[in-house]
Structure 1
Amino acid sequence: MFRSIITGSGAYIPTEIQSNPDFFTQPFYSNGLLLPSSSHDIVSKFKQITGIEQRRYVSQDLTAGDIGAIAARNAISDSGINPEEIDQLIVAHNFGNVAAGAIQSKAVPSLASSIKHQLGIRNPACVAYDVLFGCPGWLQGIIQADAFFKAGIANKALVIGTETLSRVSDRYDRDSMIFSDGAGAVVLEYKDTVSTDRGILSASVQTHALEENGYISMGSSDFPDSDPQVQYIKMKGRKVYEYALLNVPAAMKDCLDKSGVPIQNLKKIFIHQANEKMDEAIVQRFYQLYDLPAPVDIMPMSIHWLGNSSVATIPTLIDLVKQGQMPEHKLEEGDVILLASVGAGMNINAVCYRY
């Protein structure tokens, strides 16, 4: 039996650290009005809700394409493959390359083509393309690569998630403290797994695009004297939270049930690092669907020090665990894990994988 297997991983964690106290002097607005609470109180409450203490921003000389290429090189090196053998180079992002101080996104050429250029891959049969799918974009890239493998079109894929959300965040909006920058990548190969039963076991994908379509969008700054033509990422936090709790656990259950793996055999859940309390509530509700309590050590978390880097959160988290940089979480051959994400669209996906 052939399955899609992760044979290498890599990440780029930006060097610029923004800790919560850095926001103590930042005024925050909502609908053009200065929030009455002190910035110190706003930041303290933010930490209680999200769990975020730090986030990472890229240095001014780097773009999403640059850090995606770094993560890609690390994944290629970890896998040991010849990059000229890559059939699909898939890059998940949402805002393209945004230079420091710029107000325009650059997505032509595509980030995938730009990263292929930076990697120096000459093979024209290495098809490079972008995926725009909100925060679940990287996981959607994994699902697409797996589909191409099963169709007999490809055998090796490089799937990258990269984002510089710090450059599209409104600093006057308290939600801006959630967002961060980063990049993660994996090499996925289609291999005979008859002796190990490793690889992707199942997947589930959903899009809710009626009233949910506006839960995460672009809008002008909350600062009253801002230029209305300059757009920033905006989020209806309560709506996103309620949507995620209602829909993500069911999608995760659908995915696990398709795999045929009993929930008692599930070792880890790698979930999009969006909000600590939301992620914990999603996992608890997922286990409630099986009338079980959630294990205390089931979910690795990096949000406390990396924040929410959108498409980069899951591949970065996988790399941290795989490379032994989160010693409290280990993966052994044969472990079944569940990957899940939710984001703008609104989109949800999940993948069940045997390590």
Structure 2
Amino acid sequence: MNIKITGSGSYIPTKKVTNSDFAQHDFLNEDGTAFNMTNDIIAEKFVEITGILERRYAADDMVNSDMAIIAAKKAIEKSGIDPETLDYIILAHNYGDIQTNTIQSDTVPSLATRVKYGLQIKNPKCVAYDILFGCPGWIEAVIQAQAYIKAGMAKKCLVIGSETLSRVVDKHDRDSMIYSDGAGATIIEATDDEGGILAHESATFSFDEAKFLYFGNSFNKNEDPNIRYIKMYGRKIYEFALSNVPKAMASCLEKSGIPITDVKKILIHQANEKMDEAIINRFYKLFKMETPVGIMPMSIHKLGNSSVATVPTLYDLIVNGELEGQNLNKGDVIIFASVGAGMNINAIVYKM
């Protein structure tokens, strides 16, 4: 028995937000003081570091679970399964359903339950629940689905990563330009087909790192102090990721027994292009190799950082031939990897 992705789907919001759309924002330092550079220069430096030219925001009349339902329907259709045969629906997110122009996160019932309702699944033995694991949430949910299947507790699982980060950003914080919205979904099944999940690695670093990402007040001291937004210590996250993600990926690859020369693609969570490039370069240096050209497909330039949705969306775009110059074929070995709030790190070695 092998455990494979038998179908995938994604939802990419139609609302495009370019860097020029931030031209009128009043960006401030953490202490509330003004920057000594114009927004044009801020945007220019932002692109140099992150690679992000534009991002997608959910329409005003949509919430997180709406996007998840759309992505889930596509994954179910691609897999050809009867949704009534699903044993688990596991939905990774961070902030629940947040309606436009509100400050409340709505997580009761769970977003997974809302997806089950939206799919009109009647089977009560289809268990639906959410996980909160930062940006690596979708990969962690896949690891959980694999565990259920290995233990004989499930045969088919729907695993989703969906988030509307645009609803929790501080418009006075430059980091708000990184975040975006989206959803990616996959069907994970037990199958007699060759390949599937070969190994996984997962860890939580919290002794010093727990608050590298957190909820904090607006940088504008005139804003309501009771409203808080997503905040991060970017330099600390960068240094942490460079130190720990390559080692986790290498450990995962070693467990799989697959030589590094057989790896076709690395699908890594994308929050910062330069950081991702540095992670991949350091990973290959562990094997005393140069980084192969084209090993790391990128979607961040047009889609930004959609947190838990980034990796499954990237996978879906590639397998459906929707990412220019990228493809995956049966038998190809890929690595999924992510890092995010917690600080959490995980990786999966997967054979198509």
- Please say whether Structure 1 and Structure 2 have the same fold, judged by a TM-score greater than 0.5: yes
SS at match of 1:213: coil
1:13-32 superposed matches below 5 A: 13-30=12-29, 31-32=31-32
Question: Contact (CA 8 Å) 1:33, 1:224: kept in 2 or not?
Answer: no
* 2:182 maps to amino acid: G
* 1:38 counterpart letter in structure 2: T
Asked if residue 229 in structure 1 is aligned to residue 251 in structure 2, the reply is: no
In the alignment, the residues of structure 1 paired with residue 324 and residue 230 of structure 2 have an alpha-carbon distance, to the nearest angstrom, of 34
1:286 maps onto 2:283 in alignment: yes
Q: Is the Cα–Cα contact under 8 Å of residues 6 and 199 in structure 1 kept in the other structure?
A: yes
After the TM superposition, which residues 123-272 of structure 1 pair with which residues of structure 2 at under 5 Å, given as runs? 123-193=123-193, 196=194, 198-272=195-269
Quote the RMSD (CA, aligned, Å): 0.6
Aligned to 2:84: 84
Q: Please give the alpha-carbon distance, in whole angstroms, between the structure 1 residues aligned to 2:324 and 2:7.
A: 19
Q: Distance in 1 between matches of 2:50 and 2:233?
A: 15
Match of 2:6 in 1: 7
Q: Distance in 1 between matches of 2:2 and 2:176?
A: 39
TM-score (norm. length: structure 2): 0.99
Mean CA deviation greater in 21-30 or 57-66: 21-30
1:278-325 deviations in Å (ceiling 9; x for gaps): 001000000000000110110110000000000000000000000000
Distance 1:4 1:311 in 2: 21
1:214-271 Cα shifts (integer Å, max 9, x gaps): 1101001011201111010001110000000000000000000000000000000000
TM-score by length of 1: 0.98
> Which residue identity is paired with 1:16?
K
Secondary structure at 2:16 match in 1: strand
Shifted more, 299-308 versus 205-214: the winner is 205-214
The letter for the 2-side match of 1:117 is Y
Shift of 1:327: 3.5
1:301 is the counterpart of 2:298: yes
The runs of 5 or more residues in structure 1 that have no matched partner are: none
Q: Indicate if the aligned counterparts of 1:204 and 1:351 stay in contact, CA closer than 8 A.
A: yes
Q: Which of 306, 316, 336 is the matching residue for 1:319?
A: 316
Report how many residues are paired.
Answer: 351
SS in structure 1 opposite 2:322? coil
CA distance in 2, matches of 1:86, 1:273: 30
Could you tell me which runs of 5 or more consecutive residues in structure 2 were left unpaired when the two chains were aligned: none
